[in-house]
């Protein structure tokens, strides 16, 4: 997604964008949490890439709310959302939104889901918020300003050995890719302290930022999965990127405390974890 030609982001203050993003994320979080608590079983409204890649009515309602609030405040910005696609803007500011990261968890009543909103200025993520409505926790960051959890600074762990690292990961929806990811995981497990699979990439990235995980890797993430969480992890001191010198993206996203980043990167490169 790109802004329309001639756009300028000169007047966009990342701190102001974060205030808007956080306020909007909290409101969207209230909406999705209240809708989930109102029913015993949440219905599937549709599917995307596979029958297991689900969408609920709460996903679409939350994205509509977020879009409405952001455009009410900044009508000429761009927008990229998971559910309803992209809108080109003219300001140089683009919003990258996942209304519910961890939809399957949300569907099953598990508390690991989040609202993720990031603001890009001229293609660079400059502000981001990840809000977990179930726990009430909110992570925020502005580029160059550190990472914060509920107003308190957070920092990655001091782990310095991959063998002692608690590592998070995730899996795609395509059966063949999942089989390949499982094969990689079989080689990773003996090399680390243990593995966690929470099912929400934005929260995994924030877990690295907070020192709750020492590292996280996953193939198949989209921009809305990693934009806000990736900034938060990096601002907390994590090494965030892909493999073979590539940036974090669909082929591979890795976030790790510096003491284990090189070891984990080398292992995943040797295993070809960025390839199907």
pLDDT at 1 over 60: no
For residues 166 and 145, membership in a common domain is answered with: no
Q: pLDDT value at position 3?
A: 43
Q: Which pTM does this prediction carry?
A: 0.92
Q: What's phi and psi for 223, nearest 5 deg?
A: -55, -40
> Residues in the chain, how many?
276
Q: pLDDT value at position 183?
A: 97
For residues 142 and 171, membership in a common domain is answered with: no
139 inside domain: yes
Phi-psi region of 245 (alpha: psi -120 to 50; beta: other; left: phi over 0): left
Q: Which residue has the higher pLDDT, 218 or 12?
A: 218
Q: pLDDT value at position 84?
A: 77
| 101 appears as a binding residue in the annotation | yes
Q: pLDDT value at position 9?
A: 43
Task: Report the alpha-carbon distance of residue 140 to residue 11 in Å, rounded.
Answer: 21
For residues 228 and 172, membership in a common domain is answered with: yes
* Cα 45-46-49 angle, rounded to 5 deg: 155
In 3D space, the residue among 20, 115, 140, 110 whose CA is nearest the CA of residue 59 turns out to be: 115
Place of tokens 């996203």: 253
pLDDT, tens digit, 9 for 90 and up, residues 191-234: 999 999 999 999 999 999 999 999 999 999 999 999 999 999 99
Mean per-residue pLDDT over the chain, rounded: 93
6 inside domain: no
Q: Which of 119, 154, 189 is the last residue of a domain?
A: 154
For residues 118 and 40, membership in a common domain is answered with: yes
Q: Which of 136, 154, 172 is the last residue of a domain?
A: 154
| 82 appears as a binding residue in the annotation | yes
pLDDT, tens digit, 9 for 90 and up, residues 119-138: 999 999 999 999 999 999 99
Q: Which residue has the higher pLDDT, 217 or 47?
A: 217
For residues 134 and 34, membership in a common domain is answered with: yes
Q: Please spell the DSSP secondary structure of 141-165, one letter per residue.
A: EETTS-EEETTEEE-------GGG-
For residues 148 and 208, membership in a common domain is answered with: no
Q: Please spell the DSSP secondary structure of 29-71, one letter per residue.
A: HHHHHHHHHT-SSPPP-EESSSTTSEE-HHHHHHHHHHHHHHH
Average the pLDDT over 235-242 and give the result. 99
For residues 171 and 150, membership in a common domain is answered with: no
CATH number for the domain including 230? 3.40.190.80
For residues 258 and 202, membership in a common domain is answered with: yes
Q: pLDDT value at position 50?
A: 67
Q: Return the structure tokens found at 162.
A: 């991959």
Q: Which domain holds residue 169?
A: 162-271
For residues 61 and 144, membership in a common domain is answered with: yes
pLDDT, tens digit, 9 for 90 and up, residues 66-119: 999 999 999 999 999 987 778 999 999 999 999 999 999 999 999 999 999 999
Domain count along the chain: 2
| 225 appears as a binding residue in the annotation | yes
Q: Which of 120, 154, 188 is the last residue of a domain?
A: 154
CATH number for the domain including 124? 3.30.540.10
Q: pLDDT value at position 86?
A: 87
In this prediction, residue 185 has a pLDDT band, given cuts at 50, 70 and 90, of very high
């Amino acid at each position: 997604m790109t802004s329309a030609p001639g756009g300028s982001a000169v007047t966009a203050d990342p701190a102001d964008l974060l205030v808007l993003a956080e306020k909007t994320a909290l409101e969207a979080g209230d909406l999705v949490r209240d809708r989930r608590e109102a029913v015993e079983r949440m219905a599937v409204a549709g599917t995307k890439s596979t029958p297991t890649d689900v969408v609920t009515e709460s996903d679409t309602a939350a994205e509509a709310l977020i879009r409405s609030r952001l455009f009410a405040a900044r009508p000429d910005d761009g927008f990229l959302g998971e559910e309803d696609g992209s809108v080109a803007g003219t300001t140089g500011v683009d919003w990258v939104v996942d209304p519910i990261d961890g939809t399957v968890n949300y569907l099953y009543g598990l508390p690991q889901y989040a609202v993720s909103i990031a603001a890009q200025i001229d293609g660079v993520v400059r502000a981001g918020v990840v809000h977990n409505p179930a726990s009430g926790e909110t992570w925020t960051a502005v580029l160059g300003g550190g990472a914060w959890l509920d107003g308190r600074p957070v920092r990655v762990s001091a782990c310095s050995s991959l063998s002692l690292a608690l590592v998070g990961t995730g899996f795609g929806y395509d059966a063949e890719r999942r089989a390949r990811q499982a094969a990689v995981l079989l080689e990773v497990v003996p090399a680390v302290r243990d593995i966690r699979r929470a099912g929400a990439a934005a929260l995994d990235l924030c877990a690295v930022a907070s020192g709750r995980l020492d590292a996280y890797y996953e193939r198949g993430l989209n921009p809305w999965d990693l934009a806000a969480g990736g900034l938060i992890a990096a601002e907390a001191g994590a090494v965030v990127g892909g493999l073979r010198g590539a940036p974090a993206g669909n082929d591979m996203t890795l976030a790790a405390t510096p003491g284990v980043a090189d070891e984990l990167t080398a292992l995943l490169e040797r295993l070809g974890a960025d390839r199907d």
